[in-house]
């Protein structure tokens, strides 16, 4: 019982840490845009530096990582190209057409997609507690997006890109749960990053010179994107999926929203509206509700386990 509780706690901490890292990504991407980089250049910069760092680490310290079955490798490639690259690239392009608030709203529809896929594909049972938590996070996400604070007409192409990013991130979570039943989070992270990097080389036709490598600020933002906003949260979210499952990890990861508010206020001097504060609080309530364990239920489980042991 204690082992199960410890694994669950580790999963919660991992997902919240991932949310913090991904919240930093929004700040860093804005910085990269100010340096004159386009969306695909920003994602390529992040992916290539992260992939190179992981390759060096695995060659010298974890060479056994390369022994991956072909069937599992296919799933890892799918998670990397559709999940990781698809989410990052589609969301970055959505920001070119939409206000950040609307783009975030669309992206954070993905927990509903993950839960729906779990019910339809694996016939998972969704508890009333999970449904209420999901409702709170959806309502909170809607308020936090600022859509009720005077957001005007938006480009349809941006809406399509934002919805596509949500679908890609749902795929990342769903495939991640399958993959993590076969390999460790470190293996999953490395191969999905490498698949993402190779796909970007194909998209850019090998033109790595399209990124201004001679600029010191490019390296600075690139290293931060690769570590703080990529490798660390990537690994943490995979650990969270492994410990909690894709559906609960998806809802917990909405912690990124209130954390984004805090970081935007600190680094960009952007302060959320009243609606956004309320939305952030609802998201946090959903997180707490999802992970609430009533003492009575815990005692019942412990009593049942003790009876079985006797």
In whole angstroms, what is the distance from residue 77 CA to residue 84 CA?
Answer: 10
Q: Identify the pLDDT of residue 308.
A: 45
Query: How much is the pLDDT for 222?
Result: 93
**How far, in Å, CA of 125 to CA of 139, rounded?**
22
Residues 6+ away with beta carbon under 8 Å from 132: 286, 289
Question: CA–CA separation, 252 vs 256, rounded Å?
Answer: 9
Residues 276 and 261 sit within 8 Å (Cβ to Cβ): yes
What is the residue-level pLDDT of the chain in tens, covering all 310 positions?
677 788 888 888 999 999 899 888 878 888 898 898 998 999 999 999 999 999 999 999 999 988 888 888 889 999 999 888 999 899 888 877 776 666 777 787 777 777 777 777 777 777 787 788 778 877 877 776 656 655 444 567 887 888 899 889 888 878 888 888 888 888 888 999 999 999 999 999 888 888 999 999 999 999 999 999 988 988 898 888 888 887 678 778 778 777 877 887 788 777 767 777 787 788 778 766 765 544 334 444 444 444 444 4
Give the pair of three-digit tokens for residue 80.
């990397």
CA 5 centroid distance within chain: 23
For residue 84, give the nearest of 39, 47, 125 by alpha carbon.
Answer: 47
Angle at 91 between CA 90 and CA 94, to 5 degrees: 85
- Beta strands per DSSP E along the chain: none
Output the furthest CA–CA distance in the chain (Å, rounded): 69
Q: Quick one: pLDDT at residue 46?
A: 93
DSSP 8-state assignment for residue 208 = G
Of 89, 24, 31, nearest to 217 (Cα)?
A: 31
Alpha-carbon distance 31 to 254, whole Å? 23
- Cα 39 to its chain centre, rounded Å, is 18
């Amino acid at each position: 019982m204690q082992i199960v509780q410890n694994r669950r706690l580790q999963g919660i901490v991992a997902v919240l840490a991932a949310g913090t890292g991904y919240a930093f990504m929004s700040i860093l991407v804005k910085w990269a845009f100010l340096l004159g980089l386009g969306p695909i250049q920003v994602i390529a910069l992040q992916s290539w530096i992260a992939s190179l760092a992981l390759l060096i680490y695995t060659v010298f310290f974890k060479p056994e990582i390369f022994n991956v079955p072909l069937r599992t490798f296919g799933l890892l490639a799918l998670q990397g190209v559709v999940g990781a690259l698809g989410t990052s690239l589609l969301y970055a392009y959505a920001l070119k057409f939409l206000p950040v608030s609307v783009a975030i709203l669309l992206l954070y529809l993905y927990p509903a997609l993950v839960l729906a896929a779990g019910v339809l594909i694996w016939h998972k049972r969704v508890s009333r507690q999970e449904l209420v938590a999901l409702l709170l996070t959806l309502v909170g996400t809607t308020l936090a997006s600022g859509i009720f604070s005077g957001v005007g007409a938006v480009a349809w192409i941006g809406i399509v890109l934002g919805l596509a990013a949500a679908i890609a991130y749902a795929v990342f979570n769903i495939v991640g749960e399958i993959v993590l039943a076969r390999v460790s989070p470190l293996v999953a992270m490395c191969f999905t990053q490498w698949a993402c990097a190779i796909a970007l080389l194909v998209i850019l036709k090998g033109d790595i010179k399209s990124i201004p490598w001679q600029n010191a600020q490019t390296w600075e933002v690139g290293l931060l994107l690769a570590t703080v906003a990529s490798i660390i949260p990537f690994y943490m979210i995979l650990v969270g999926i492994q410990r909690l499952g894709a559906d609960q990890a998806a809802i917990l990861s909405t912690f990124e929203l209130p954390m984004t508010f805090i970081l935007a206020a600190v680094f960009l001097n952007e302060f959320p509206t009243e609606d956004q504060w309320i939305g952030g609080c609802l998201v946090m309530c959903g997180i707490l509700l999802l992970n609430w364990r009533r003492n009575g239920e815990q005692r019942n489980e412990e009593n049942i386990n003790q009876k079985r042991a006797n």
